Amino acid sequence: MKAAILYKANTPLEVVEVEQQGPQAGEARVRVMATGVCHSDWHIMNGDWTPPLPMVLGHEAAGQVEEVGPGVSTVRPGDHVVFSFRPHCGRCLYCSTGRSVLCDGYSSPRWLMLDGTFRLSRDGQPLHQLARLGTFAEFVVCPAEMVIPIRKAMPWPQAALVGCAVPTGVGAVTRCARVEAGASVLVIGCGGVGLNVVQGARLAGAQTIIGCDLLDNKLAFARQFGATHTLNPRDGDPVERVRGLTGGRGVDYAFDAIGSEATTLQILDAIRPGGTAVIVGMAALTVRAPISPYVMALHEKTLKGTIYGSIRPNLDIPQLVELYLDGRLQLDELISRTYRLDEINEGFAALRRGEVARGVVVFPG
């Protein structure tokens, strides 16, 4: 079977034949049907994050279960599933309290199977799997707890997005910040994740939703997903303009879907006293932001982070699928472009140029 391998940072992915072992106890083998091109994969390709290589990247995907190993009872062959890229041991402090995105129940590194071994190799060289998945491949063998069954009516490319961008953005609003109806919301960065923060705010009933991005085409996407106002920082200081739209006070909630020093400081400046700023976008490891402890205390500001939208994957992934099938979640509009697996490097080039809401690799059925 074919997979896209990163051998070295700042070199293209190589789409080549690899050898795959079947599922062991507690594992499933899934035929990948669609997989999204996400900025987190790019962080590894460009050397921002440095897990061991070679690695099969890809973590936002959906597919059909082909085979399960001994002891698997949660899925069976034929099931349609969305991959969840966080572990879920079911026993640790976090899993026990409904916060499994923070699961710390396993000691093996997150690019090997739970027993610490590999399932993929090429010419005898073992290959790591990003997040124990590595969905830039025709098939994935992974822990069965990381595949979540969904309704078969769900189309594949849209299902793939429910694996990362959609829960990360919508969950940041509904699960992490818990935005209430009537609230005012700022979203900095209107790519795949930021657009889902915008539509999460719309679902929550926010009254004012301000999208902010340096690219006017992304601001047009933001209006399509529910932004009531859009700002391009090239036209003036975005924090001043946010205050202008909120009676001089600032927004109730601000979300940073980028993850940089400047945007972290902007979301803190843009919230009103008593407001909440949420870091959603994953930054490079070296990024630091100098905040003012004095202002944090004086204005009772809250700064939070969220991984994977603080969702409960087993509950929230099927629920997001239902919201789409009910016509209340916009996913078709997110898919700007589709690619074959051997075109994946073009998918990352388009991501870097900011041309797409989301690019998705689809596999011939």
> Residue 36 corresponds to which tokens in the numbers above?
């999204």
Q: Give SS3 for 51.
A: coil
Residue closer to Zn ion, measured from CB, 84 or 230: 84
Task: Output 142 or 164, the one with its CB closest to Zn ion.
Answer: 164
Residue with Cβ nearer Zn ion (195 or 239): 195
Phi, psi for 199 (deg, rounded to 5): -75, -25
Q: Is 299 a catalytic residue?
A: no
CA distance 350 to 26: 37
Cα–Cα distance, 267 to 251 (Å, whole number): 9
Stretch that binds Zn ion, among 11-19, 31-39, 248-256, 342-350 (CB under 5 A): 31-39
Which stretch in 15-23, 40-48, 237-245, 344-352 sits in contact with Zn ion by CB under 5 A? 40-48
Catalytic entry in 95, 103, 142, 164 = 164
Asked if 350 interacts with Zn ion (CB under 5 A), we say no
Distance CA 17, CA 122 (A): 7
User: Count of residues binding Zn ion (CB under 5 A)?
Assistant: 9
Residue number with CB closer to Zn ion (162 or 210): 162
Q: How far is the CB of 26 from Zn ion (least distance, A)?
A: 14
95 binds Zn ion (CB under 5 A): yes
Q: List, in sequence order, every residue forming a beta bridge with 298; answer none if it has no partner.
A: none
Report helix, strand or coil for 359: strand
Residue 92 vs 325, nearer CB to Zn ion: 92
Stretch that binds Zn ion, among 25-33, 105-113, 218-226, 321-329 (CB under 5 A): 105-113
**Per CB under 5 A, does 105 bind Zn ion?**
yes
3-state secondary structure 108-126: CCCCCCCCCCCCEEECCEE
Active site residue 176: no
Q: From the CA atom positions of the chain, what is the Rg in Å? A: 20
In DSSP terms, which residues pair with 305 in a beta bridge? 279
- The least CB distance from residue 165 to Zn ion, in Å, is 6
**∠ CA 123-124-128, rounded to 5°:** 100
Indicate the residue among 253 and 308 with the shorter CB distance to Zn ion.
Answer: 308
SS3 165: helix
Say whether residue 164 binds Zn ion (CB under 5 A).
yes
What Å distances lie between residue 222 and 105, 188, 361, CA to CA?
38, 11, 23
Closest distance of CB 272 from Zn ion, Å: 31
Does the protein bind Zn ion through residue 349 (CB under 5 A)? no
Instruction: In whole angstroms, give the CA distance from residue 163 to residue 40.
Output: 13
| Residue of 39, 59, 128, 229 with catalytic role | 59
Q: Does 92 bind Zn ion (CB under 5 A)?
A: yes
By beta-carbon proximity to Zn ion, the closer residue of 250 and 347 is 347
Instruction: Tell me which of 39, 40, 84, 310 is the catalytic residue.
Output: 40
User: Is 102 an interacting residue with respect to Zn ion (CB under 5 A)?
Assistant: no
Residue whose structure tokens are 């027993």 = 115
Question: Given the DSSP bridges, would you call strands 147-149 and 80-83 parallel, antiparallel or unpaired?
Answer: antiparallel
Whole-number minimum distance, CB 326 to Zn ion, in Å?
Answer: 24
Binder among 4, 18, 33, 38 for Zn ion (CB under 5 A): 38
Does 103 interact with Zn ion (rule: CB under 5 A)? yes
How many whole angstroms separate alpha carbon 119 and alpha carbon 3?
13
- The 208-212 sheet, strands edge to edge: 229-231, 208-212, 184-188, 251-256, 271-279, 302-305
**CA–CA separation, 336 vs 133, rounded Å?**
24
3-class DSSP state of 105:
coil
54-83 positions binding Zn ion, by CB under 5 A = 60
Q: Quick check: 147 and 174 in contact, CB under 8 A?
A: no
Asked if 44 touches Zn ion (CB under 5 A), the answer is: no
Q: Is 245 in the site for Zn ion (CB under 5 A)?
A: no
Catalytic residue among 43, 88, 128, 229: 43
Contact call for residue 89 and Zn ion (CB under 5 A): yes
Q: How far is the CB of 175 from Zn ion (least distance, A)?
A: 17
Indicate which residues carry an active-site annotation: 38, 40, 43, 59, 164
Which residues bind to Zn ion, rule: CB under 5 A? 38, 40, 60, 89, 92, 95, 103, 105, 164
